[in-house]
């Protein structure tokens, strides 16, 4: 992980936290930070399956914002870890609405990066009346072209990582790498799904930052959540129609948005951010010239904090 950007607010602890049973299978972890009387914000983590980090609390002025964060189904402290059954975009949207009702919030600013941007757009388009605006990073629309890039075309930039990724898969299955990994990740044999989860997580994690970073210690929680749920959602097209999030942007076009995109993001390439911006008249696109995908890269973190500070003062991003 890179050094903490100086633009972030100081570390802080949750005001309160808890677990919410959302169906007979899933229980989600949530936390509230900041000012209970502040501007409500919903924070949506990436992955799917990546879960929360204490750093996620630090994009917001705690004196001005009331921030609600949660581990999505199958991620982080939510249980069961890595569970893909009863796990769809529409069910995650329902979970968000349960949380909104739990906290008595009428409408909130929606903040999400990577898969969090996907879920933010899907939620906003389903419930535009519940949104004050959007802060989005590293746009992922979960189109077939983006998934193919993530799985296959990355070899043009990271051939050595790609070779490691395909090595466990027999030659006969390599024409459908996503399917091959999904079969392994979503099986019930730990001798099969654990090696696949670790290989998948490593393949993604080593491409996040523009410049190489010291590798963190392996995390079974992250590996299983990311590996299983990313494969599950990619195989199913995020349970959305192809290009639905651009097609339906008119439902939120009246709301302000800032889009922060790393110029050299090889996880979620800039074309998706550009397409979304072109379709959204009230959006502002900030292309960070010296950044990849990571939210904690200096230029990206600075732009995200600047956006929340602008919204704090003006309720817009201009």
Residue 26 and residue 125 in one domain: yes
Residue 120 and residue 251 in one domain: yes
Strand partners, 33: 67
Distance spanning both ends of the chain, measured CA to CA: 31
What's the confidence (pLDDT) of residue 78?
98
What's the confidence (pLDDT) of residue 50?
96
Residue 67 and residue 212 in one domain: no
Residue 47 and residue 128 in one domain: yes
Instruction: Say if residues 228 and 204 touch (Cβ distance below 8 Å).
Output: no
Quick: pLDDT tens for 48-103.
999 999 999 999 999 999 999 999 999 999 999 999 999 999 999 999 999 999 99
What's the CA gap between 247 and 270, in Å, rounded? 18
3-state secondary structure of 315: coil
Percent of the chain topping pLDDT 70? 97
Residue 244 and residue 115 in one domain: yes
Q: Residue 68 domain-assigned?
A: yes
Residue 62 and residue 138 in one domain: yes
Quick: pLDDT tens for 174-217.
999 999 999 999 999 999 999 999 999 999 988 998 887 776 66
Q: Residue 199 domain-assigned?
A: yes
What value does the mean pLDDT of the chain take? 95
Q: Residue 301 domain-assigned?
A: yes
Q: Residue 7 domain-assigned?
A: no
What's the confidence (pLDDT) of residue 267?
96
Q: Residue 2 domain-assigned?
A: no
Instruction: Say if residues 182 and 237 touch (Cβ distance below 8 Å).
Output: no
Instruction: Say if residues 46 and 113 touch (Cβ distance below 8 Å).
Output: yes
CB atoms within 10 A of CB 228: 29
What's the confidence (pLDDT) of residue 211?
86
What's the confidence (pLDDT) of residue 1?
53
Residue 122 and residue 252 in one domain: yes
Alpha helices in the chain (DSSP H): 89-103, 115-126, 144-151, 159-166, 177-185, 190-205, 220-235, 244-247, 270-279, 298-314
Tokens 């059954």 -> residue: 85
Tokens 């003062």 -> residue: 313
What's the confidence (pLDDT) of residue 220?
84
Q: Residue 150 domain-assigned?
A: no
Query: End of a domain among 205, 237, 269?
Result: 237
Lowest-confidence range among 1-15, 221-235, 269-283, 298-312? Answer: 1-15
What's the confidence (pLDDT) of residue 210?
86
Quick: pLDDT tens for 147-169.
999 999 999 999 999 999 999 99
CB atoms within 10 A of CB 152: 17
Quick: pLDDT tens for 250-294.
999 999 999 999 999 999 999 999 999 999 999 999 999 999 999
Q: Residue 77 domain-assigned?
A: yes
Percent of the chain topping pLDDT 90? 90
Q: Which residues constitute the domain of residue 164?
A: 156-237
CA distances from 313 to 10, 40, 116, 156, 306 (A): 20, 14, 24, 43, 11
294 against 6, higher pLDDT:
294
What's the confidence (pLDDT) of residue 2?
60
Residue 27 and residue 102 in one domain: yes
Evaluated on CA atoms 265, 52, 220, 169, the torsion sign reads negative
Q: What is the band of 317 on the pLDDT scale with cuts at 50, 70, 90?
A: low
Helix axes 190-205, 177-185, angle to 10 degrees: 130
Q: Give the global pTM.
A: 0.96
**How large is the average pLDDT for residues 224-228?**
95
Strand 257-262, strand 283-288: pairing: parallel
CB atoms within 10 A of CB 11: 10
We report the CATH number of the domain holding residue 44 as 3.40.50.1820
Residue 291 and residue 165 in one domain: no
Q: Residue 10 domain-assigned?
A: no
3-state secondary structure of 34: strand
Split into its structural domains, the chain has a count of: 2
Evaluated on CA atoms 269, 274, 280, 285, the torsion sign reads positive
Q: Which residues are catalytic?
A: 114, 265, 293
Residue 130 and residue 254 in one domain: yes
């Amino acid at each position: 992980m890179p050094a903490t950007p100086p633009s972030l607010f100081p570390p802080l602890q949750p005001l309160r936290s808890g677990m919410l049973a959302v169906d007979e299978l899933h229980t989600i972890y949530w936390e509230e930070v900041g000012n209970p009387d502040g501007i409500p914000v919903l924070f949506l983590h990436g992955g799917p399956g990546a879960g929360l980090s204490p750093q996620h609390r630090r994009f917001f002025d705690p004196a001005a914002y009331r921030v609600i964060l949660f581990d999505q189904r199958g991620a982080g402290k939510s249980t069961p870890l890595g569970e893909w059954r009863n796990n769809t975009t529409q069910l995650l949207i329902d979970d968000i609405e349960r949380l909104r009702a739990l906290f008595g919030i009428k409408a909130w600013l929606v903040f999400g990066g990577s898969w969090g941007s996907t879920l933010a757009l899907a939620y906003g388009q389903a419930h535009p009346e519940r949104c004050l605006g959007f802060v989005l990073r590293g746009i992922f629309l979960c189109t077939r072209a983006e998934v193919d890039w993530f799985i296959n075309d990355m070899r043009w930039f990271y051939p050595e990582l790609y070779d490691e990724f395909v090595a466990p898969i027999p030659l006969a299955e390599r024409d459908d790498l996503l399917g091959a990994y999904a079969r392994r990740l979503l099986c019930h044999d730990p001798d099969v799904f654990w090696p696949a989860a670790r290989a998948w997580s490593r393949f993604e994690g080593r491409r996040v930052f523009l410049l190489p970073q010291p590798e963190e210690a392996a995390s079974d929680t992250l590996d299983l959540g990311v590996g299983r749920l990313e494969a599950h959602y990619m195989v199913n097209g995020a349970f959305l129609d192809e290009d639905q999030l651009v097609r339906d942007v008119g439902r939120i076009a009246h709301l302000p948005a800032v889009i922060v995109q790393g110029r050299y993001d090889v996880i979620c390439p800039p074309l998706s951010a550009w397409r979304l911006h072109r379709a959204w008249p009230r959006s502002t696109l900030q292309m960070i010239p010296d950044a990849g995908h990571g939210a904690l890269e200096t230029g990206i973190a600075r732009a995200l904090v600047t956006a929340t500070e602008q919204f704090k003062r003006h309720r817009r991003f201009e």
